[in-house]
Structure 1
């Protein structure tokens, strides 16, 4: 079975006896993402989102509902073991969970194993051994490059190599954990020397997170035709950025303290299997662009390598919160604005023999649309701080202020299938210490 092939778990006619799942905007039975949660009683474990409930897989394993090879993995405190499963085992577990939650004969037995999601806390889904961030959003790369190099916004290597850097895994936090405004070095253009203080140009970045499943041995590569088998799932990622720190420190080695203070992810892992119906063709490159080098070129990847997602960014300011207003939309656009596919960045990451491991996280880089309706950062929306973004109640922003909360959302859709969502990725900016 190919990685984009659908099966009975994607059937739009399939419903769940968990009534809230039917028509749920994020977690219908066609989704079934994994996460790590704590119940109201304080018990922690692996769960599956179904409507407004969480199915406790530890309880399912204890009740003998899961097969022997998989049951022990569901009693762990992280998803690393499940991520490491073979594609066949991952699909088998998905089919089993879909059957359990769609067959009313299991309702009485499973109902005690369901927890109200609103009463639970969600945690990092995996132990993240390594985190790498890429730069595959070509419109974002062009917009940022144009601010510094108006005549040559994209560097010569951009269309040949998926640009990336090694990020900081220890400061990744799940949705809901507040962000402390970072303190660091910055040098305003008018200053003769740098100063140390809170970032004055704090920004968000709309990204997708890619969870690595089965890894590769050190010294070996992952062929592009097999790269999809090494992807366990997806999440949303806000790779917060202190633009003033970054402008001062990034030459010659790239971002460092301007990125490492915190990144925020959505806590549910939407599996590669759930995304199978939402894998359209990768948009064709302009005719004068170079073709991918052979190790990054695969016909199936080009035919099914994109992600049929609509991405959205919203802001909730302190004043809006006080007035009881809903979050204000800043941008919305498709994930198809990625110049390189997920499979290409995985194959490239391992092409030098770098060993990827289950639970490693890759970031796509900021995903922006060609026009400002889909820009994925404030530095683009405000043109580097020159054009304030108008908000309700007479407020405006060039960069983020204390009390601002940024919310990311994603929704997958395709004709003939039930849409699924990622849940929210959100965090509030707190004052610097």
Structure 2
């Protein structure tokens, strides 16, 4: 949540028992000494650091460290006869909350917030400025999979969209006096129509932002019911260094709804496996399976009906599509074979792929290539096989995953998400909503 750590500034994957550099942080210590995406780190401090049993934790323990300290690595690079030595001085490495921002169509800007770290608000404003310069006049904020983080950045982002004196959030508990948070009217995004994407893993700060915009009739919400995490906890430290977190209050969004999903005393298992139970009950596949309790009925500022009971229920429901998820797909993804093949392909064809310097150009080129057949051979060589009739439902997803991972290595995160989400039904619905409703639930003028 601090937004940075001490390290050498690379992202990596363990590929065939070696450390494979998938990207190098721009302006970071590794880029400064000439490390490249596609390099394989073979030695650390002149000792072999490869082989079976190597874990990501092992790698991070050796490569991370205090700012200003040195680490020497030996790198295998395709086309070089010997290992290349690099001595890298560790530095503060930023951890970004905004994973992607790009333009969709003529004037829709897309921003994906992965978590709410300390710098999330600033990163969000920078993303908005970049999209504004590209001619974007509407925004889609993607909070899917965002399990939360710090509360203040979420409140600050909500404030950007609201006129003055709008309630954003309040907290209240049995022995905790109610505290209200209001908008100040100085937000820079008040003119933007906005859609927010959520799913069953959007939690805590994600729900605060989503609920504040929905209850103020400031955004349409698209997706599935969010997680339902809305407790205020106070950490009480002890002399031995341990601590206990005590729940002292709950979060409430402007309509009076409590974000926190209910807990029935003694029903620990039901509470713990809530998402699985939603799937088994059919809720993730059909809005009609959500049980609305009339006593938990509330109204937004503009009089729209919304419901409490845990989480944020979207205005437009998009079901979870599991048709392509086969056991074979779970194996090739879970074992890192899709990304491993993609990164290997990118390295072996790097010179040829340099000509395709945008996500759209690269996608058009890769669409004409047969990536599936060599991938099936790659997976089979690593003992993951399957009959074609069982594999075929997953082929479109594998093609998408390979293309997007190649794009990530060559062009970065924005390109990855552009290709990974090509054809995504939830994003497609968001675009449909925001384009058809140019005045998306705008806040009424005071």
TM over 0.5: no
TM-score norm. by structure 2 comes to 0.24
Give the TM-score normalised by structure 1.
0.25
Higher helix proportion: 2
